[in-house]
Amino acid sequence: MEENDRLIVNLFNNECFTMCKTEEVDANIKRAQEFYANDVETYKHHLIDCPNMSDHWQKQLEVCEAVLKSGFEAITWKEYVKRQREKWLSKEPKEITREDYDEALNVLPPKKWIQNERYSMFFIGECTTMTYYGQYLYDKKTGKYYTALTDICDRSTWLDKMLNL
């Protein structure tokens, strides 16, 4: 990205609509509004035309309406990365079952599988976004299993650090 490039993001969930030059911001915000307004109308028609999938289309409609209501803004790449980090890495570890742990381990080959006397920990083989991966940990001392989204490149976000192991 160049210094004068901006990302057009919605304020509902910070998803990026497009990238543009600073002088193109207003036109691209208008384009984003039109895009989501069109989706709202499309989903309203789907609710009528596809009643067997009304739950799905209702959820899509609600998200689009929320995006439109929240609005859009232009931000730098640096600000976008900061917001994504806050959005994705702010959740506490979740305790899971052994079955959940085993399923995650067997879906794709694990990344950075670490085993020691205290725990077994791995990253699922596919990222969620950027360098953020689902991580899973088995605490051998307590017999408990955990998961969280962490940054594979930032050891301070890893489960063993969050759980003080």
Query: Do 80 and 130 share a domain, yes or no?
Result: no
**pLDDT over 90 at 76, yes or no:** yes
Per the prediction, the chain carries an average pLDDT of 94
Taking residues 15-39, what's their average pLDDT?
A: 96
Write out the H or E segment, with its range, that includes residue 17.
Answer: strand 16-21
* CA gap 93, 159 in Å, rounded: 7
Domain range for 127 is: 94-162
Query: Do 57 and 102 share a domain, yes or no?
Result: no
Domain C-terminal end among 88, 107, 138:
88
Query: Do 120 and 103 share a domain, yes or no?
Result: yes
**pLDDT over 90 at 103, yes or no:** yes
Structure-block tokens of residue 29: 């915000």
* CA gap 134, 122 in Å, rounded: 9
Helix (H, G, I), strand (E, B) or coil at 161: helix
CA 52, 55, 57, 58 torsion-angle sign: positive
